Amino acid sequence: MNAQNRTASPATPAGNIYDLGYRHYEGKRHGRWYAIWSLYVESMRGVWGFGRPMTAKAAPFILLGLYAFPSLIQLAFSSLIAQAATQGATSRLFAYDNYFDRVGFFIVLYLVAQAPELVCRDQRYHVLPLYFTRALGRVDYALARLAALATALFICLMLPMVALFVGDVLMKPDTLQAVGDEWPRALPAVPACALAAVSLASISLALSAFSPRRAYSAIGLVAYFLLMEIVPAVVYGVGQQAGWDWADKLVPLRPTTAISSATDWFFGVSLEGLAFPPTLGTDAYVLAVLISIAAFTGILLFRYRRVAA
């Protein structure tokens, strides 16, 4: 028996073909924009910890509660504050234009806790190729994550504004007239909070995207906000004594200070008499915040164009 006959002998196992019933997908294909929307919704759920254990919900909701707590206390004691207002003892109340400046520290902690949650795990567990092999592009992925975090921050920033609005209305004897009088004063809070939310979201996501480890990203965010608040302030203080004319240009580099001063621009509040350079107005801080948004959004997009996937 030659080799050819031995190969074709009945003892040789033969292959089998099974019909498993696989069929091509024949439903509607939603395309790119639906993929972006789905990622946005899932990112919003991830920021607040929905669909995850209770421990994932602790940080965002506790920090939101701490940030909104002063406004809720002011709302709860609105009747007592109304009595004190007749005696002129309400100068240190929280207002729309100074709330973030006083308790914005909790928003920074919120970013440190939640921004790495959106971008670090996908890199660490190498799931980005699963996103990018479909209709979703790299830029789409980055912008969807950014929009989700900015929306979550906008909700956090607006909640105390709503509480302050309700409290100010309840201080007045005529509720309907108070709503009409208070509405023009409260309305600038909407664009001010939107600007702050987009600015902080772009900074935190751009920095967090450079590490697949949440701990490293959180440390990087803490270092950035601390150093960028302290170093320009120290240089400006030294520059005042040394006569450096350029030192005041560094103050808008302070992220939370620039946002607080930009908020004053929306409410028409002057910076005179405060610890700010007299050569810079509120419009300079608005411009600094807008440049920061463009710069860090560009860094974020550049990162995802170069990230391995």
DSSP letters, 50-114, are TTS-HHHHHHHHHHHHHHHHHHHHHHHTHHHHHHHHTTT--TTS--TTTHHHHHTHHHHHHHHHH
C-alpha to C-alpha distance for 187 and 104, rounded to whole angstroms? 20
7 CB-near residues (< 8 Å, 6+ apart): none
Distances 63 to 98, 103, 108, 198, 213 between C-alpha atoms, Å = 19, 11, 10, 19, 22
Pair of tokens at residue 218 = 């959180």
The reported pLDDT for the residue numbered 48 is 94
Whether the per-residue pLDDT at 88 is higher than 70: the answer is: no
CB-based burial, 259-298: b 16+ in 10 Å, e otherwise: bbbbbbbbbebebeeeebbeebbbebbbebbeebbeebbe
Burial class (CB in 10 A: 0-12, 13-18, 19+), 132: middle
Asked if residue 44 lies in contact with residue 145, where contact means CB atoms within 8 angstroms, the answer is no
Q: How confident is the model at residue 109 (pLDDT cuts 50, 70, 90)?
A: very high
Q: How confident is the model at residue 26 (pLDDT cuts 50, 70, 90)?
A: confident
Closest CA to 157 of 203, 207, 103, 118: 103
Domain ranges of the chain: 28-306
* Tens digits of residue pLDDT in 251-287: 899 999 999 999 999 998 887 656 677 678 889 999 9
State the Cα torsion 279-282-287-288 to the nearest 10°: 70
Q: Is 121 helix (H, G, I), strand (E, B) or coil?
A: helix
C-alpha to C-alpha distance for 87 and 237, rounded to whole angstroms? 38
* Tens digits of residue pLDDT in 199-257: 999 999 999 999 999 999 999 999 999 999 999 989 988 988 888 888 888 889 999 99
Residue 171 vs residue 105, higher pLDDT: 105
CA 138-143-147 angle, to 5 degrees, is 155
Residue 79's φ and ψ, nearest 5 degrees, are -70, -40
Whether the per-residue pLDDT at 169 is higher than 90: the answer is: no
C-alpha to C-alpha distance for 124 and 256, rounded to whole angstroms? 30
Asked if residue 271 lies in contact with residue 281, where contact means CB atoms within 8 angstroms, the answer is yes
The reported pLDDT for the residue numbered 279 is 74
Whether the per-residue pLDDT at 5 is higher than 80: the answer is: no
Whether the per-residue pLDDT at 87 is higher than 70: the answer is: no
Task: Count other Cβ atoms within 10 Å, centred on residue 201.
Answer: 27
Average pLDDT, the chain: 87
Asked if residue 195 lies in contact with residue 262, where contact means CB atoms within 8 angstroms, the answer is yes
Asked if residue 66 lies in contact with residue 106, where contact means CB atoms within 8 angstroms, the answer is yes
Residue 23's φ and ψ, nearest 5 degrees, are -130, 150
